[in-house]
Structure 1
Amino acid sequence: MTVASTVLWGVAHIAAERRKSGVALMAAYVLMLAGVLTMFTAFSVNLLSLAVQPRWMTVLTVALVVIALAWITVIVWSFLLVRPPRSDLVGRALTTTLTIALCALVLAPTAYATRLAYVSRDVVNTLFSPGDSTAPVLAHDPWNGAERVNFLLLGGDSAPGRPGVRTDSMTVASVAVDSGATVLFGLPRNLERVPLPKGPARDRFPWGFAGTGADTPGLLNEIYQYGEDHPEVVPGVPKGRRGAELIKETIGGILGIPVHFHAMVDMKGFAEIVDAMGGVRVSIKEPIVYGKYREGVLPAGTRKLSGQEALWYGRSRTDSDDYVRMGRQKCLLNAVAKQADPITVLNSFERLAAATKRAISTDLPQDLLPAAIDLSQRVKDARIRSLNFVPPLVNTASPDWHFIRRTVREALREQDRPRRALAGPRGPSAGHDAPVSLDATCR
C-alpha cells in the first residue's frame, strides 16, 4: 500500500477507509501531473528561456522543494496508516526500511534538479550583467526592430613570452532574427593599418592603427589589449571592458555593420568546454600536425576530437597558414553549435558550467538571454555560411576597406534573398555588384 501510494497518492488512505482524504490526495496528484505534463509539452519551447532567468530558477527551486516535501509527507502518512502491528517486528523493520528508501527515491532527483537550478543561476549571474543593455528591451520585440543581430566571437590567447591577450580568432556572426540564417565573417589577425573608431582612438592613429613599437607591429589582433592598456582612447568605459568596446567598434567599422554584442573565449578554456561536451565530431580534409614540437597528427576523416585535439585543430599552422586555420575555426564553431544538444548539455551540465565560467566573458545582458536562447534554437536549424577576408580576396598589408564593406553587404543580401523573394520585392537593386559567393561551412 505504501509503494502504491508513492505511485498514486491516496491508495493507502482508501484502503484504510479514509476515503475523503484518499480522493483529495488523488485529485491533487492528478492535477500536479497535468501541470507538469502541460509545462513540458505546451510550453517546452520556453523552458530553455526560463532556465536562463535567475528569478524563474528560484521559483522552480522552491516549487521542486515543495513538491518533494509534499510527496514525502504522503509516503510517510500512508505508511503510518497501513504499517504492520507492533508485534510484527520483522514486518515493521522491513516496511520502515522500504519507506525510507521510497522517500530517498523521491528526494534524490529533486536534490539533483535543485543543484542544476543553483548552478544555472550562478552561471547566469557570473557571466551576464543585469540590466546592461544600451536600449530598452521590449517584451514583443527584444531586438528592437533589428532584422539582424551581430555577435563578435573572439578567441583570446596569451603566452608567457608576451604581455596581454591577443585576439587571434575574430569572427562576426550575423544572425537573421526571423530565421536564424547566419553568416560568419572572419577577419585575419594580421590586418594592418586598421581604421579605429572616430574620437580619441582615431585622433591618435589618424592613418590607421600602427602599434606602439617593435613588440606591437600594429596588427588587428593587438587592438583589444591596446584598449585595455590605454583608457584615454576609450573614455568612460570601465577597466575590463575597454578592450572589448574598442575591438567591437573597430570591427564594426571594418565590416560596415554594427556589432551589438561580443563573447570572448579563452583558448585553453575552450578545450575544457569541448571535453565537458564529451568531444566534438569534425571532418578533417587533410592530416593536421599538432603540438608545439609536432607531437602528433590528426588523421584525415570524420572523427571525434578531445578538447586538446580540437584546440590544435583550430590553432595549428604547421604546414599551412593563418587563413587555412581560420577556415578550420569556422568548421569548429559550426560543429560545436550543432552538437551542443540539450541531452549533451544536461549530462555534462556542471562540468560545462564550470568551464564556461572560467573560459567565457561577454557583454550580452541578462534581460536579453531568453531572446538569445530562442534565437540560438533557430540558428541550430538554419544554414550557417562563412566568408573569410583573406588573401587573395584582400591584401592584409593594404586592405581595401570599401571593398570589404561592399562585400559584406552583398553577402548579407545573398543570404536574405530566398526570404525576401518569398516576401516580395523591396525595391530596385541597381547599383550593386554581382552577388558574392559564400562558402558553406564544414559538415
Structure 2
Amino acid sequence: MGGNRSLWRALGLTLGSAVLWGIAHLWVGRTRTGLALAAIYTLLLATGIAVATSFRSTVLALLVRPGWLTATVVATLVTALVWALVIVSSYRLVRPQPLHGTRRLFAGGLVGGLCLVVAAPLAYASRVAYVSHDLMTTVFPDQSAFPPDRGDHVDYLGSKQRINLLLVGVDAAKNRPGARTDSMTIASVNTKTGQTVLFSLPRNLQRVPMPAGPARTAFPDGFTGGGASPGLLNEVYQWAEDNPSLVPGVPDRQRGITLLKATVGGILGLPIDYYAMVDMKGFAQIIDAMGGVTVTVKQDIVFGAYREGLVKAGTRRLTGDEALWFGRSRTDSDDYVRMGRQKCLLHAVAKQADPLTVLRGFERIATVTKRYVSTDIPQSLLPSLVTLSAKLKLTEIRSLQFVPPLISTGNPDWTFIRQKVNDTVNAPAHPEMPSKRTLTLAPPADTVSLDATCG
C-alpha cells in the first residue's frame, strides 16, 4: 500500500512540475535547480501572456517576417523538448524504487502521455510557423525582386496618405483561350485612419484609355482588341501577355498584370501600388478550407449552363462551389448585379475569416493560396499591412461601383470617373462620430456601405 502511495505522490509531483517547473526538484532538496526552473518558467509564462494581450499587434506584425517565423519554429520546438525533459527528469527524481512490472509500465505511460500533452500544442505551433514561412516566401516576393526606384518598402506606408491595391479575380475557363479578369476591385485605404473605399470596374468597359508608351501607340483611341475581340477591359490582361511589344522589358506572366495596373490606375486617376490576383477555382477552395461563408441572399440565384444549380434565398452558409457561382452567375441578372454580389461576398469573407477559422483550415488555405494566388506585395511591407489591418476593423468599408446608370460602359466619361473617385477618397469625416473607436465617413450619394446581405 505504501508503494502505491509513493507512486501516486511521484506522479502528482511530476504533474505539478509540468504545470510549474521545479516543484519536484524543490521537493527532493535541489533548491537551486528548482528555483532556476521556476524562474525560467515564470519568464516564459509572463512573455506568453504579454504577447497574447498587450503586444499582440506587434507580435502579429513580426510573424509575417520570414526570419521571425524561422525563429518561432526553432523556439517552439526547443521549448517543447525542454518541457518534456523537465517532466521526465522530475519523475526520475521522485519515482519510488524499486518499480517493476505493471506499475512501471503504468507510470511510464502516464509520464509519456503528459509529455505529449504539453509538447503537442507547441509542435503544432511550430508546424503553423513553418507553413507560414513557406507561404510568405512562396507567394510574396522578396525586396530584391524590385528595382531600386520602388524605394524602402519598410517605410512605404509611412510616406503615403493612401495605398491602392488592385484585387483581381481571374476566370481561366476551359471553353475560352487565355484568362479573363472578370472581377476588378481597387481597395483604396487611408494609411492613417484605415478608412477604405472599394472601387469596382465592370469587365465590359469599352475603349479604355491605354497608359503612355507602346500600349497607347497601338491603341491611341482606347483599347479595341483585334479580330473577333470586342475590346473589353477584361481582355487587357491576356492581350498584354500575348503581345510582348505592348509592355517591353517585362517578363512572361508579368506583362498582363503590369499593363492592367497601369490601365486601371489611369481610369481611376489613382496610382495602383500593388495587386493581388486569385483564380476563381482557388477562391472556391479557400472558402471550403474556411468551412464555408455565411451570407443573407435576398432572392434565389440560378446558375449553370442548363440552370441546374440554385442558391436559395435566405441566410445560408455557402460551400466553395456555391460561393463561386454566387459571385459568377449572370443567369436572370447581369454583370452589374453580379458585381454587387462579388463585393458583398468579399466583405463577408473578410469579416468571417477570424483567427480561429483561419487556423482550423490553415494548411489547406496555405496550399490553395500558393497555387492560385499571385501578388507583388513584398515581404517587407507585410508587417505594416498587418498593423494597418487593425485600423480597418474600426472603420466602415464603403463601395462605389462604376455601372449604369452612373456611367455608360460603351462610352464612359473618363473625366467623370476620375472626379468621382477624387471626391470619394477625399470625403470629410462624419461630423457626428458615435465614438472614438467608430470612424464613419460621409459618403457621396453613389457610395454604399457593405454588409453581408446580398441580392
Fold shared, TM-score > 0.5 on shorter chain: yes
Of the structure 1 ranges 218-227 and 176-185, higher mean CA displacement relative to structure 2 is found in: 176-185
Identify the residue that residue 114 of structure 1 maps to in structure 2: 126
Match of 1:317 in 2: 330
The answer to whether the 8 A contact 2:223-2:232 is kept is yes
List aligned pairs for 1:269-348, cutoff 5 A. 269-348=282-361
Instruction: Check the 8 A contact 1:72/1:106 in 2, yes or no.
Output: yes
Give the residue type in structure 2 aligned to 1:440. S
Q: Which residues in structure 2 correspond to 1:203-214 (within 5 Å)?
A: 203-214=217-228
Residue 147 of structure 1: CA displacement? 1.1
Secondary structure of the residue that 2:357 maps to in structure 1?
Answer: helix
User: C-alpha displacement at 1:138, in angstroms?
Assistant: 6.4
Contact 1:180/1:378 (8 A) holds in 2:
yes
Match for residue 447 of structure 2 among 430, 438, 441: 438
Corresponding letter in the other structure for 1:328 = R
Instruction: Say if 2:64 is the partner of 1:55.
Output: no
CA contact (8 A) 1:137 1:368 kept: no
Note the aligned Cα RMSD (angstroms).
Answer: 1.9
What is the alpha-carbon distance in structure 2 between the residues aligned to residue 61 and residue 87 of structure 1?
38
**1:417 & 1:437 partners in 2: Cα distance?**
17
Aligned equivalent of 1:243: 256
- Determine whether 1:8 maps to 2:20: yes
**In the aligned structure 2, how far is the partner of 1:148 from the partner of 1:99?**
56
Whole-angstrom distance in 2 between the partners of 1:299 and 1:252 = 37
| 1:110–1:391 Cα change, 3 Å | same
The 10-residue stretch of structure 1 (19-28 or 385-394) with the greater mean CA deviation from structure 2: 19-28
Whole-Å separation in 2 of the counterparts to 1:160 and 1:117: 36
**2:96 counterpart residue number:** 84
1:146 aligns with 2:163: no
CA shift, 1:100, in A, is 1.4
Does structure 2 retain, via aligned residues, the 8 Å contact 1:283–1:442?
Answer: no
Q: Distance in 2 between matches of 1:264 and 1:282?
A: 23
Q: Deviation string for 1:341-363 (max 9, x for gaps)?
A: 11111111111111211221111
Gaps of 5+ in 1: 422-433
Describe how 1:137-286 pairs up with structure 2 within 5 A.
137=152, 141-214=155-228, 216-286=229-299
Quote the offset at 1:92 in angstroms. 2.4
Deviation per residue, 1:178-201 (Å, 9 max, x gap): 221111111111111111100011
State the shift of 1:419 in Å. 8.4
Query: Once the 2 structures are TM-superposed, how far is the Cα of residue 291 of structure 1 from its aligned partner?
Result: 2.2
Report the more deviating stretch, 86-95 or 53-62.
86-95
The 8 Å contact of residues 182 and 234 in structure 2, kept in 1 or not, is answered as yes
- Percent identity, aligned pairs only, is 54
Taking a change above 3 Å as real, the CA distance of residues 404 and 138 of structure 1, as seen in their structure-2 partners, is: closer
In the alignment, the residues of structure 2 paired with residue 76 and residue 322 of structure 1 have an alpha-carbon distance, to the nearest angstrom, of: 65
Contact 2:293 2:317 in 1 (8 A): yes
1:214-242 CA deviation, whole Å, 9 max, x = no partner?
1x221100000111111111112111111
Question: Separation in 2 of the partners of 1:152 and 1:173?
Answer: 7
SS in 2 for 1:302: strand
| Residue 145 (structure 2) pairs with residue 136 (structure 1) | no
Question: Using a 3 Å threshold, how does the CA distance of structure 1 residues 230 and 87 change in structure 2: closer, same or farther?
Answer: closer
Q: Indicate whether 1:390 and 2:403 are aligned.
A: yes
For residues 67-90 of structure 1, what are the alpha-carbon distances to aligned partners after superposition, in whole Å with 9 as ceiling and x for unaligned?
112111111111111112125443
Q: Partners of 1:396 and 1:87 in 2: how far apart?
A: 85
Distance 1:205 1:50 in 2: 46
Q: How many residues align?
A: 429
Distance 1:346 1:310 in 2: 21
SS in 1 for 2:386: helix
Superposition deviation, residue 435 in structure 1: 4.5
Structure 1 residues 96 and 332: alpha-carbon distance in aligned structure 2, compared to 1, 3 A threshold: same
TM-score, normalising length: structure 1: 0.93
Q: Secondary structure at the match of 1:377?
A: helix
Kept in 2: contact 1:158–1:166 (CA 8 A): yes
Greater mean deviation of Cα atoms: 218-227 or 291-300:
291-300
**In structure 2, C-alpha distance between the alignment counterparts of 1:210 and 1:87, rounded to whole Å:** 87
> Which moved further from structure 2: 357-366 or 13-22?
13-22
Distance change (3 Å), C-alpha of 1:217 and 1:138: closer
Q: Distance in 2 between matches of 1:65 and 1:350?
A: 19
For the residues of structure 2 that align with 1:107 and 1:195, how far apart are their CA atoms?
59
CA deviation after TM superposition for structure 1 residue 114, in Å: 1.1
What amino acid does structure 2 have at the position aligned with 1:83? R
TM-score, normalised via structure 2 length: 0.90
